[in-house]
């Protein structure tokens, strides 16, 4: 294999064979193919795309580059959810214990904050003591014991993706639909799932803001999952404003706990329950959406879902007291309320600006080794479409010091627009599944 010839072929719009993809990935993981050649190939893929058989070979090669969870000892169908990333999106924190408490095992593997979006692992690590770096064997044992686990990508899972992702991050090759699909699906397929529910975000705060690009990504991932025996369904959901009120790691954990008590903000609960419906349906645990909702409401009302969260936190070394006492979560020393500067209609709450401000406050990373301040962030109660009076409280900033408060208040002033009308996206924009996806 002469790598330069393969790069030229892809650059010119040609196709690489499955054997060539396998050899390339082997060579890359073993260090025989250098980063500069892989970077050139990634850029060629960015422009030329991949044919379906090339995408299949890339996904399978990335999956085969590592180990996987082995959950065949658990008879019930296993299901996970994956979000393409947003601001205030804490649905994973609710879904793992909620769906597990309905009898469906959830082996959940999540990521860290990326760009302006938050990451489930960072949120979980806001819980004092919580460990997300379990070994695969410990994760398998935990799923067998309590029905759910929430971990990060271990070094054994899809190591080719880990290296490729780091390379894409610094070579302007993240926003390629086939590369995103292969990256996400190689990790999800390593979880030994029977079913996967995708939450593909659309709107200004999403990585792929345009609906047609989000739809193409969802359809590509559905086709990839289904072809490998994993039932795959996608909801396209709104990320043109933050989800729920809390934005920031510990604040989001607190809001997720409120949600499991049945006291979460309406938009957060609508998206969470829509995803949970799909997880129960995809696992064949219920015959229809009506039955799914009944089961989910009962799990919340009875306290079973909250109890499952307590078990999960305890099992992974966290302080279970946070479930009853949110004061046990990290608290920011300073806070200030942002008031409406004028009367009118909230026309926008820009999620990208809020996500960037969390990084400025220290709640996200500028470089990979930055240490996160889990306590900082925002509680934004204003929603697009709401009629407000001048001086009405719209949000609270939580910061480490007075300078952080000033940064947060400035960001809120930029993110929240008061106008005459609003046209927010519906929270669940579209559902896609094998029968509806044109793939
Ligand atoms: N998340 C991933 O894991 N991979 C991507 O390429 C994008 C988001």
Active-site residue identified among 122, 161, 240, 267:
161
Residue 27: count of CB within 10 angstroms of its CB: 16
Which pLDDT does position 170 carry in this prediction?
Answer: 85
Catalytic residue status for 168: yes
Res 439: pLDDT:
37
Residue 392 pLDDT = 98
Separation CA 223–CA 211 (nearest Å): 18
Helix axes 35-48, 3-11, angle to 10 degrees: 20
- Give yes or no for residue 155 having a pLDDT over 90: no
The mean pLDDT of the chain is: 96
Of the residues 10, 82, 308, 348, only one is catalytic, namely 82
Distance CA(351)–CA(412), nearest Å, equals: 10
> Which domains occur in the chain, in start order?
3-49 (1.20.970.10), 79-325+427-432 (3.40.1030.10), 330-419 (3.90.1170.30)
What pLDDT is stored for residue 436 in this prediction? 59
**Model pLDDT for residues 190-201, shown as the tens digit of each residue:** 999 999 999 999
Both tokens of 309, joined, read: 């969260």
Burial class (CB in 10 A: 0-12, 13-18, 19+), 423: exposed
Q: Which helix (H) or strand (E) holds 44?
A: helix 35-48
Mean pLDDT across 51-72: 96
Residue 199 backbone dihedrals phi, psi, to 5 degrees: -110, 95
φ/ψ region of 28 (left if φ > 0, alpha if ψ in -120 to 50, else beta) reads alpha
Determine whether the shortest distance from the Cβ of 183 to ligand 1 is under 6 A. Answer: yes
Q: Give this prediction's pTM.
A: 0.95
How many A from CA of 409 to the centre of ligand 1? 31
Residue 216 phi/psi, 5-degree rounding, is -65, -40
What are the phi and psi torsion angles at 268 (to 5°)?
Answer: -60, -45
């Amino acid at each position: 294999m002469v790598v330069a010839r393969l790069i030229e072929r892809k650059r010119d719009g040609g196709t690489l064979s499955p054997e060539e993809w396998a050899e390339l990935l082997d060579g890359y993981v073993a260090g025989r193919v250098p980063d500069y050649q892989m970077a050139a190939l990634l850029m060629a893929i960015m422009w030329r795309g991949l044919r379906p058989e090339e995408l299949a070979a890339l996904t399978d090669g990335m999956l085969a580059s590592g180990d996987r969870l082995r959950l065949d000892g658990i008879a019930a169908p296993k299901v996970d959810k994956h979000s393409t990333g947003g601001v205030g999106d804490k649905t994973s924190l609710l879904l793992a214990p909620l769906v597990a408490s309905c009898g469906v095992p959830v082996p959940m593997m999540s990521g860290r904050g990326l760009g302006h979006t938050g990451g489930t692992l960072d949120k979980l690590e806001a819980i004092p003591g919580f460990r997300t770096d379990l070994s695969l064997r410990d994760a398998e044992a935990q799923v067998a014991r309590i029905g759910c686990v929430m971990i990060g990508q271990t070094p054994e899972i899809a190591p080719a993706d880990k290296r490729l992702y780091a390379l894409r991050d610094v070579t302007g090759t993240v926003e390629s639909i086939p590369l995103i699909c292969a990256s996400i699906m190689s990790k999800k397929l390593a979880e030994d799932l029977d079913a996967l529910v995708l939450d593909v975000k659309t709107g200004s705060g999403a990585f792929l803001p345009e609906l047609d690009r989000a739809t193409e990504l969802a359809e590509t991932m559905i086709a990839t999952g289904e072809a490998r025996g994993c039932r795959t369904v996608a909801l396209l959901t709104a990320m043109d404003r933050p989800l729920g009120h809390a934005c920031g790691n510990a604040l989001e954990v607190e809001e997720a706990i409120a949600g499991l008590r049945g006291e979460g903000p309406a938009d957060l609960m609508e998206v969470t329950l829509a995803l949970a419906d799909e997880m129960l349906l995809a696992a064949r645990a219920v015959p229809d959406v009506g039955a799914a909702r009944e089961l989910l409401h009962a799990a919340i009302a009875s306290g079973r879902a909250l109890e499952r969260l307590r078990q999960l936190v305890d099992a992974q070394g966290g302080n279970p007291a946070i479930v009853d006492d949110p004061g046990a979560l990290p608290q920011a020393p300073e806070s200030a309320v942002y008031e409406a500067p004028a009367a009118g209609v909230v026309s926008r709450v820009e999620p990208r600006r809020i996500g960037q401000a969390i990084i400025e406050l220290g709640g996200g990373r500028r470089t990979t080794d930055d240490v996160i301040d889990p306590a900082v962030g925002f509680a934004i109660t204003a929603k697009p479409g709401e009629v407000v009076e001048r001086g009405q409280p719209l949000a609270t900033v939580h910061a480490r010091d007075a300078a952080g408060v000033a940064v947060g208040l400035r960001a809120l002033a930029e993110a929240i627009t008061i106008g005459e009308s609003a046209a927010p996206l519906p929270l669940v924009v579209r559902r896609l599944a094998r029968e509806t996806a044109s793939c």
